Amino acid sequence: MTETQQQAPARDDPGRAVPAIELTGVEKAYQAHGETVPAVRGVDLEIAQGEFFSLLGPSGCGKTTTMRMIAGFEEPTAGTVHLHGQDVTGVPPNRRDVNMVFQSYALFPHMSVFENVAFGLRRRGVPKAEVSTRVGEMLGIVDLAGREKRRPGELSGGQQQRVALARALVNRPRALLLDEPLGALDLKLRQAMQVELKRIQREVGITFVYVTHDQGEALTMSDRIAVMNDGLIEQLGTPREIYEHPATRFVAGFIGTSNLLGGEVAEAAAGTAVISYGADGRIEVPVRGGRKVAAGERLELTVRPEKIGIALERPADDLCGVRGTVTEVVYLGTSTNYNVTTSAGADVVVFLQNATSADDIATRGDSVWLSWEPRHSYAIGAPQ
């Protein structure tokens, strides 16, 4: 956990809004072939009512297991799950007020779109007129009005996914859990569906918990993201917090591209440190998480590629600067990427928008200065 995670008021605090979902000390170990597999190693999180919350991380980090414990398909080995203030640990899935949407839509192929969406309502004995109104309303929200009579096989992948979504939402669950629901779609459709999903979520106001390994997807849609690694949450925050202030080396590398420059603590004071890097670079940075650093300690500075400028002359004194040699220039239409080896020891990547200049600023082999504003770099922990 990092300091970007909000401090939750105690559960008995009367002024506290009841979270839609609350995991406390949740662990899950599977038994497989005589071995214990620790899939989730201690997760604490709170998801607010109406929030679009993503669990993001690489394959095998424990995202799906976490989601399945919220749904009730898996029971935690330790810890508790609360839904809307009620302890549901041990309660079966059909008695939890949540619905789940999977990558495979699992629609009934022989039924019409209308019947697929109406299925759950009919089974619960909802009166016919109400079924008709609610299904119609929901098909409007997912933009499928007029396609009620079609079979799933007569729809595109994106439309099928929207039927699956309508089918889950028509029951008015208090939370919807989505496990990589766009994974089967091609890139263009996936991007269009990301925007659609966010719109639908805003319109219905239901809490969404979204599992994905795709950082772009999580950044686009989420109010907050929990970045998971090896069964633990590495960082929890808004997309902006996570991208702009990665708390760990893992998060810096997993979300977008990050440059890591080797540095050394020159002076340490309460809450801040002066780091020296490269030949003669010095920068004062906040030390996060109440961590104590000492003079002489090795740290890494991160700075995102789009925050760096590139020039042949030394930058102004109020900017961070490091000297380097261009090793690669890649023209990408809207931007040009430069790879630069620097005196700080790392290969630095720079993304420059091709807003005005038609020509490259530097070519391979040129000696250049890289510069950025001090507020765009952070110290993120000691390298090996």
Ligand X SMILES: Nc1ncnc2c1ncn2[C@@H]1O[C@H](COP(=O)(O)OP(=O)(O)OP(=O)(O)O)[C@@H](O)[C@H]1O
**Any bridge partners for residue 352, and if so which?**
336
- Interaction between residue 17 and ligand X (CB under 6 A): no
Closest listed residue to residue 214, CA positions, set 202, 197, 166: 197
Smallest distance, ligand X to C-beta of residue 64, A: 3
The region of 55-63, 262-270, 299-307, 320-328 touching ligand X under the rule CB under 6 A is 55-63
Give the HSE-up count for residue 164: Cα atoms under 13 Å, Cβ half-sphere. 25
End-to-end CA distance of the chain: 21
Site string for ligand X, 254-293 (x = CB under 6 A): ----------------------------------------
User: Which is closer to ligand X, CB of 251 or CB of 344?
Assistant: 251
- Angle at CA 298, nearest 5°, toward 292 and 300? 95
Contact yes or no for 49/20 (Cβ under 8 A): yes
Looking at residues 196 to 235 of the shown chain, list those that interact with ligand X (rule: CB under 6 A). 213
From CA 259, how far away is CA 306, in angstroms rounded? 10
Q: Which amino acid is at 30?
A: Y
User: Which is closer to ligand X, CB of 24 or CB of 212?
Assistant: 212
User: Which is closer to ligand X, CB of 77 or CB of 238?
Assistant: 77
- Interaction between residue 190 and ligand X (CB under 6 A): no
From CA 49, how far away is CA 291, in angstroms rounded? 33
- Interaction between residue 30 and ligand X (CB under 6 A): yes
User: Which is closer to ligand X, CB of 27 or CB of 115?
Assistant: 27
Smallest distance, ligand X to C-beta of residue 63, A: 4
User: Which is closer to ligand X, CB of 106 or CB of 311?
Assistant: 106
The region of 61-69, 85-93, 165-173, 197-205 touching ligand X under the rule CB under 6 A is 61-69
41: buried, middle or exposed (CB in 10 Å: 19+, 13-18, 0-12)?
A: middle
According to DSSP, the β-strands at 335-342 and 347-353 are: antiparallel
The region of 18-26, 59-67, 301-309, 354-362 touching ligand X under the rule CB under 6 A is 59-67
- Interaction between residue 160 and ligand X (CB under 6 A): no
* Cα-based torsion angle of the residue sequence 46, 48, 54, 59 in order, rounded to the nearest 10 degrees: 30
- Interaction between residue 62 and ligand X (CB under 6 A): yes
User: Which is closer to ligand X, CB of 43 or CB of 139?
Assistant: 43
Among 10, 12, 32, 129, binds ligand X (CB under 6 A): 32
Number of residues that bind ligand X (CB under 6 A): 13
User: 304: which residues sit within 8 A by CB, 6+ positions away?
Assistant: 243, 244, 256, 257, 258, 259, 376
Smallest distance, ligand X to C-beta of residue 30, A: 3
Smallest distance, ligand X to C-beta of residue 299, A: 30
User: 129: which residues sit within 8 A by CB, 6+ positions away?
Assistant: none
From CA 168, how far away is CA 92, in angstroms rounded? 18
The region of 60-68, 121-129, 147-155, 342-350 touching ligand X under the rule CB under 6 A is 60-68
Among 24, 54, 65, 342, binds ligand X (CB under 6 A): 65
The region of 29-37, 164-172, 283-291, 357-365 touching ligand X under the rule CB under 6 A is 29-37
* Cα-based torsion angle of the residue sequence 143, 146, 148, 149 in order, rounded to the nearest 10 degrees: -140
Query: Which parts of this chain interact with ligand X (CB under 6 A)?
Result: 30, 32, 37, 39, 57, 59-65, 213
